[in-house]
Amino acid sequence: MAGEQHRRRLRALARRLEIPAEQLPLLERAFVHASALSGNAGPGDSNERLEFLGDSVLGLVAADYLERTYPLASEGELSKRKARLVSGELLAMSARRLRLGELLVLGASAAATGGGAQRPSLLADAFEALVAALYRARGLAAAAAFIEREHLTRVSEEQLREGNAKTALQEWTTAHFKCLPVYAGSVEGPPHARTFTASVNVGERALGSGTGRSKRAAQQAAAAQALEILRHEAADEQEV
């Protein structure tokens, strides 16, 4: 049943993005993590190569969007905004809103590490791979429209300016809870390929987790996830 549910969700996403049925295998590959493959799989069997392509498509579309949206901004300011727009933190937020984590296929070890399919790094990679699949299936115009509609225009000015989730989380918790976030973490892997995992607590609540190539990157990812949860909660309270 789980396999059939996965296929139904893929087909629903394909219909939503108007991806032709014959391109469904390409869309499926966008969500296959390398950890889910056997040892004799090739480099094109996971989403890694699509992620590589999607990163470049995102960069081009974001640069074009910023150049059109901020006609008075300097090149330096545009570069900073672009780096922020295509950051793993913000891509993961869009991927989480689109529920891309539900489509990810992970190996047992990846599924059991640092939040599994909800890890910000995996969600960001899935978003990039999806962009590449859409680009391959329907061309640059369709990919650009998707990126602008589902990501670029949904990033607020506040989020664009922040750039430091740890600082933003500390400011939020100090203002709302009169306490500081507390981080914990671990590291695994050989010295040349270490993976850092971090979690963050606010008071007694475990609110976020993340992974990265450095302790700081992992803590930033954890803080970003915690900040997103707190903001959603605050927004929900205002609607009541």
Closest to 200 measured CA to CA, from 218, 187, 176, 214: 218
Distances (CA, A) of 90 to 78, 105, 110, 124, 201: 17, 22, 21, 8, 21
E strand spans, the chain:
182-188, 195-202, 205-212
Angle at 217 (CA atoms; ends 212, 223), nearest 5 degrees: 110
Element (H, E) at 113: none
Q: Indicate which residues carry an active-site annotation.
A: 55, 128
Ordered DSSP codes for 134-193: HHHHH-HHHHHHHHHHHTGGGS-HHHHHH--HHHHHHHHHHHHHSS--EEEEEEES-GGG
